[in-house]
């Protein structure tokens, strides 16, 4: 009798983790007080007993999950490689990804998180192999999730949209994040070189900087399209940009990137995504640091001292700070030695420009004058000190102040010295 009971429990548990049947499985979920819908495609022979990857594939503005499934090619990849694909539906056929595309107040990051959790409750999912992709508004949402849900997704492959946050430094992933962006060289809806949404090169550069990639990207050409990928990045991640010449259409010409003669984008995306697994969770440490900044300037200009207070967030290979005046900066960091209590900080390119602007504004406030334009050049490492729990306790940096950014045009130094606020 005991053996029968055990068998019954095991059978019930197996069914609880194998409720998806091969083919399409529609589902509903409540998120943010709204009833949301999605569908999950399971490959032929899916039984649910072996952990499989999950890809979340997000539709564009005005579309829906059914149409995304029909055009993206990810369903065919699922059938070939044996993973699940979830196709969420946006509220009013849209997702709130930042600058794109409507539905203010709808928390679609929370919705996608809840969707993944619900799928994991119905099937045996490998939690280290959950990925995200999508087109247009879905590409924007994929970028947003790479920024805001790097603790959930192992990698992202956004299509036809750059990072949808302004400033881009609001993109603050909790770890080094593998991202392969696809953008249309002839896209008339979301142009490659931008008309307000940002550009493909800027997004590529941002992910390169935040992931501390070095060297030159490798390039693969096919027809009128090509992919460039940095393979030497911090924590074993990669960053890429595929520049696609999609078909000319009467509407949205060059925007539906799947329609191109050069690459099977679903295959390229899956080849990239499937390389990566989510690392063991690491806590994101946050601390309020306060201290001083000091300008030592020559040419008869008196030295200036000011007070600074930053809220600093430290992730696994990434960091960010805000100062309460509108400055938002981000970058990468590394320990010079394993388990060292110090780290070396690097700013992404556009964050360095914001950092310079904040310094210029502070100097103008301290001196009561305006018009002194300068750039900051590192004069040593920008360091952070950690306590035994890995939380920030101090930051120090020193920069040369260059008039107008002219090499050799040094007019002094700028120092930053912060310690944990009490």
pLDDT of residue 25: 97
Flag the least confident range among 20-24, 52-56, 192-196.
192-196
Per-residue confidence (pLDDT) for residue 338, from 0 to 100: 84
* pLDDT tens track for 78-95: 999 999 999 999 999 999
Of 208-217, 290-299, 386-395, the range with the lowest mean pLDDT is 290-299
Label residue 323 left, alpha or beta by phi (over 0 means left) and psi (-120 to 50 means alpha): alpha
What digits encode the pLDDT tens for the residues 3-19? 334 333 333 344 344 48
The listed range with the strongest mean pLDDT (137-151, 268-282, 339-353) is 137-151
Average pLDDT over the chain reads 90
pTM of the entire predicted model: 0.91
pLDDT of residue 94: 97
pLDDT of residue 61: 96
Binned at pLDDT 50, 70 and 90, residue 27 comes out as very high
Q: What is the pLDDT of residue 373?
A: 76
* Residue 81: strand, helix, or coil: helix
Q: For the chain, state the CA radius of gyration.
A: 24
Q: How far apart are CA 316 and CA 28, in angstroms?
A: 34
Write the DSSP string, 236-287. G--EEEEEE-PPP-SSSTTT-TTS-SS--HHHHHHHHHTT--PPPP-PPEEE
- pLDDT for res 161: 97
Q: Which of 29-38, 271-280, 369-378 has the lowest mean pLDDT?
A: 369-378
Return the pLDDT at 361.
84
Q: pLDDT band at residue 357, thresholds of 50, 70 and 90?
A: confident
Instruction: Give the per-residue pLDDT at 183.
Output: 98
Confidence label for 404 from pLDDT (cuts 50, 70 and 90): low
pLDDT of residue 368 exceeding 70, the answer is no
Kindly state the DSSP code that residue 44 receives in the 8-state scheme: T
The Cα 130–Cα 192 span in angstroms is 28
Of 6 and 212, more confident: 212
270, pLDDT greater than 70:
yes
Query: Domains of the chain, with CATH numbers?
Result: 17-273 (3.40.50.1820), 285-420 (2.40.128)
Rounded to an integer, the average pLDDT of 393-398 is 96
97 vs 92: CA distance, rounded Å: 14
pLDDT, mean of residues 360-378: 78
pLDDT grade, residue 47 (50/70/90)? confident
CB 227 within 8 Å of CB 243? yes
Residue given tokens 């990239």 in the structure block: 272
Q: Per-residue pLDDT for 191 more than 60? A: yes
Confidence at residue 410, expressed as pLDDT on a 0 to 100 scale: 65
Least confident of 31-35, 271-275, 282-286, 333-337: 282-286
Which has more confidence, 421 or 144? Answer: 144
pLDDT at 409 over 80: no
């Amino acid at each position: 009798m005991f053996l029968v009971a055990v068998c019954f429990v095991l059978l019930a548990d197996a069914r609880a983790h194998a409720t998806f049947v091969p083919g399409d499985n529609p589902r509903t979920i409540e998120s943010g007080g709204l009833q949301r819908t999605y569908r999950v495609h399971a490959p032929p022979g899916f039984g649910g007993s072996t952990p499989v990857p999950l890809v979340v594939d997000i539709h564009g503005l005005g579309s829906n999950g059914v149409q995304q499934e029909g055009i993206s090619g990810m369903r065919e990849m699922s059938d070939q490689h044996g993973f699940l694909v979830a196709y969420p539906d946006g509220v009013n056929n849209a997702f709130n990804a930042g600058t794109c595309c409507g539905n203010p107040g709808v928390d679609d990051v929370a919705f996608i998180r809840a969707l993944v959790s619900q799928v994991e409750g119905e099937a045996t999912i490998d939690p280290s192999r959950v990925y995200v992709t999508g087109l247009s508004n879905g590409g924007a949402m994929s970028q947003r999730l790479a920024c805001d849900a790097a603790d959930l997704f192992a990698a992202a492959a956004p299509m036809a949209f750059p990072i949808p946050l302004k400033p881009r430094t609001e993109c603050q992933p909790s770890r080094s994040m593998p991202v392969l962006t696809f953008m249309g060289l002839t896209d008339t809806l979301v142009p490659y070189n931008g008309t307000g949404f940002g550009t493909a090169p800027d997004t590529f550069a941002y992910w390169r900087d935040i992931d501390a990639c070095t060297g030159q990207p490798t390039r693969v050409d096919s027809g009128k399209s090509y992919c460039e990928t940095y393979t030497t990045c911090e924590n074993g991640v990669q960053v890429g940009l595929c520049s696609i010449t999609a078909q000319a259409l009467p509407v949205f010409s060059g925007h539906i990137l799947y329609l191109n003669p050069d690459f099977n984008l679903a295959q390229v995306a899956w080849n990239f995504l499937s390389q990566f697994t989510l690392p063991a969770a690491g806590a994101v440490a946050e601390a309020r640091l306060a201290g001083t900044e000091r300008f030592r300037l020559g040419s008869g200009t008196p030295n200036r001292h000011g007070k600074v207070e930053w809220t600093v967030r430290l992730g696994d290979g990434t960091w960010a700070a805000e100062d309460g005046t509108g400055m938002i900066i981000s970058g990468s960091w590394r320990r010079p030695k394993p388990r060292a209590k110090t780290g070396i900080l690097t700013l992404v390119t556009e964050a360095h420009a914001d950092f310079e602007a904040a310094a210029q504004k502070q100097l103008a406030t301290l001196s009561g004058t305006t018009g002194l334009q300068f750039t900051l050049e590192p004069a040593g490492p920008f360091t952070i000190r950690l306590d035994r729990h890995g939380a920030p306790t101090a930051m120090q940096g020193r920069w040369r102040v260059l008039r107008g950014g002219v090499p050799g045009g040094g007019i002094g130094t700028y120092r930053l010295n912060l310690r944990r606020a009490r």
